Copies of this chain bind each other. A is one copy, B any other.
């Protein structure tokens, strides 16, 4: 099955696209820039959703649902936000089709069904949500509002790529309102930490927490916090963002509250989101030339059992042993599949489950039954061990935890060896050309220099790391003074 997969070495981008399709994660649809998320891919997304949703609720947030459409006048109320999304939005202008007199049986847009005001399909929901919050907030007692929404959004991207950039994508967007600036900043930071925790401890993807530069900031935000991951080709990927919105949306939508002294003040806001883009990060962080490698936390199937037999009798005996194992794993809430298809050979099954990234494979043959052993294979290391039947359930349970940890450490090791400090622009360009990864460099703090470096190298400032050391230095391009290093990289 996997024999046709392009290797990462040959063409990383092609490898990724092929893998997404062959592993049944997603496929292109007949709609420009939109993909179909297939059941296997969606099952992984559901696991992400469930865990994130749990984390949001644990931090006091509630879910709600706001309209898909934003009337144009509402959309343009916060000017910076509107400007940031105006160039890539889907616009509904009509509400009815009619029979096309020139093409029997076919339809045309009914020109008499033009909307008085155009509707924008939400690219993000600040506008619609803040126009609603106006009615929800009168006094400080109504604050904070801690709301999350699971939704689809549309951004009319010209160049799309599975999961990483699609015209429509699925995400969650948190939108909160607070009485004080400090509380709103604390909320934006908290959610960045929640995202980092989720990425590292659930997805096994190490991330760097930081602040975006003004250029890279969310349109309409005063500050954007982010988590940045590093893919295996040395390109960075923004995995989640959390925005401190200041009073920008409160002012645009006139959301005020009476403080404890009865004085009217504008509310302070945040918004934060992660999307199906995380699916791309997952694939690009862990997978290899044989296919997907899934951390056990996210694997729809954690264990697959493959029988190896020649005769019906052998198959019957192996099936008995397999069913016993399945029952034992299910008791531990592990997700297990006994691949008892008679239409496929073991080699085919091995390749298929490797392609699909099942973390642990157990093979059972007649010899194993005689010896009271099973062959246990790890997907991540492609190694096998023969394990005594008696302790196998605990062994596999612990192995799954080990794999989860190992995947994180492996990715962390890769990431850490791909952060290079440079002191001049020659080194900067050299790293980009040969080693890639994050480049830690001094920058003079101007948008102009940032832009120039981007033009010259395609590298952008991924973030100003939150834990950076204050040190004086000189900008890698202009030599002007700098107070600390920032991280550059080429990025998805």
Contact = CB atoms under 8 A, between A and B. Distances in A.
Interface of A: 27, 29-31, 34-39, 42-43, 45-46, 62-72, 74-76, 79, 82, 86-98, 105-107, 109, 118-121, 128, 131-132, 135, 141, 147, 151-152, 154, 156, 168, 170, 343
Given A29-B131, A91-B93, 12 more contacts: A30-B132, A31-B70, A31-B119, A34-B69, A35-B67, A36-B64, A37-B64, A39-B63, A42-B62, A69-B168, A91-B92, A96-B156
B121 A92 contact: yes
Given A90-B92, A131-B30, A97 B68 contact: no
B34 A68 contact: yes
A148 to B, nearest CB: 9
Contacts of A82: 97, 107
B62 A39 contact: yes
Contacts of A105: 76, 79
User: By CB atoms of chain B within 10 A, which of A96, A107, A154 has the most?
Assistant: A107
Nearest to A151: B152
B67 A168 contact: yes
B156 A76 contact: no
Given A64-B36, A75-B107, A91 B87 contact: no
A42 B65 contact: yes
What are the nearest 4 A-B pairs in CB distance? Answer: A34-B67, A39-B62, A86-B97, A37-B65
Given A29-B128, A34-B68, A109-B91, A62 B86 contact: no
Nearest to A152: B68
Contact of A147 (B39, B93, B106, B170): B39
Contacts of A121: 68, 92, 121
Given A76-B107, A86-B98, A118-B109, A31 B67 contact: yes
A248 to B, nearest CB: 15
A63 to B, nearest CB: 5
Copies in the complex: 2
User: By CB atoms of chain B within 10 A, which of A87, A90, A105, A128 has the most?
Assistant: A90
Contacts of A95: 88-91, 156
Contact of A66 (B36, B96, B97): B36
B31 A128 contact: yes
A425 to B, nearest CB: 37
Contacts of A74: 30
Contacts of A170: 65
Nearest to A37: B65
A87 B108 CA distance: 11
B29 A132 contact: yes
User: By CB atoms of chain B within 10 A, which of A43, A97, A128, A156 has the most?
Assistant: A97
A128 B120 CA distance: 22
Given A128-B29, A132-B29, A63 B90 contact: no
A66 B118 CA distance: 25
A30 B152 contact: no
Contacts of A63: 39, 42-43, 46
A29 B107 contact: no
A276 to B, nearest CB: 9
A169 B19 CA distance: 35
Given A63-B42, A67-B36, A107-B75, A89 B93 contact: no
A342 B75 CA distance: 40
Contacts of A67: 29, 31, 34-36, 168
Contacts of A93: 91-94, 109
A162 to B, nearest CB: 13
Nearest to A103: B76
A34 to B, nearest CB: 4
A88 B75 CA distance: 24
Given A36-B132, A39-B62, A97 B69 contact: no
Contacts of A120: 97
Contacts of A36: 64-67, 132
A38 B148 CA distance: 11
Contacts of A94: 90-91, 93
21 contacts: A27-B135, A29-B66, A29-B131, A34-B69, A35-B67, A36-B64, A36-B67, A36-B132, A37-B66, A39-B63, A45-B65, A69-B168, A82-B97, A88-B95, A91-B93, A91-B95, A91-B97, A92-B121, A93-B93, A151-B152, A152-B152
A429 to B, nearest CB: 35
A131 B36 CA distance: 11
